[in-house]
């Protein structure tokens, strides 16, 4: 579905290594592979929602992520980027790494935390799956190609919409 969603934009490349990896797949493993492939100087940016970032200390080897990539934290409705509300270990990392100047992040390979404002659309994969499971339309929430794929493969029909 990601391939379908990005097919019209030549700036996107879909990397399916996490789907092909046997056993558990962790973001840190993917970033280590990318870092090995791209070298030590090329910037990598991991983009995540603030809701996921707030739980970062539960991720496998989370501290290593800062050595491998910059982390762009996208604001999401209902969640705040609040350093004081983070677990102490993560708050300490953020205070050290929060982008405090105008130096472009592409001038270093990793290590910056960058809060990013995005349009405040309260859309989540969970809510879209629930809509579809309840038989409602998700038109305008997903690209038409993705909706067509979901419909033709009868995905999310058995989910409990409640």
- Check which CATH number belongs to the domain holding 73 and give it: 3.40.50.620
Give the structural domain span for 139. 123-162
Residues 40 and 103 in one domain: yes
**Domains in the chain: how many in total?**
2
pTM, whole model, 2 decimals?
0.74
127 and 111 fall within a common domain: no
Mind listing the pLDDT tens digit for each residue in 96-147? 998 766 678 888 999 999 998 877 667 788 888 888 888 888 888 888 888 9
Residue among 110, 101, 158 nearest 134 (CA): 158
- Pair 8, 82 in one domain: yes
Q: Return the structure tokens found at 2.
A: 């990601």
Question: Does 25 share its domain with 80?
Answer: yes
Q: What are phi and psi of 138, to 5 degrees?
A: -115, 20
The enclosing H or E element of 93 equals helix 88-97
């Amino acid at each position: 579905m990601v391939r379908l969603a990005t097919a019209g934009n030549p700036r996107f490349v879909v990397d399916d290594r996490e789907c092909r990896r046997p056993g558990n797949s962790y973001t840190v493993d993917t970033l280590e592979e990318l870092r090995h492939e791209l070298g030590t100087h090329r910037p990598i940016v991991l983009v995540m929602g603030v809701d996921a970032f707030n739980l970062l200390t539960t991720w496998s080897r989370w501290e290593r992520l800062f050595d491998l990539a910059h982390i762009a934290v996208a604001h999401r409705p209902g969640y705040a980027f609040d350093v004081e509300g983070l677990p102490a270990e993560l708050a300490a990392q953020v205070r050290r790494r929060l982008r405090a100047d105008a130096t472009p992040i592409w001038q270093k390979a990793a290590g910056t935390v960058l809060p990013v404002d995005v349009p405040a659309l309260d859309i989540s994969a969970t809510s879209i799956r629930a809509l579809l499971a309840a038989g409602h339309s998700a038109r305008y929430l997903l690209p038409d190609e993705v909706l067509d794929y979901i419909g033709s493969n009868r995905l999310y029909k058995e989910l409990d919409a409640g």
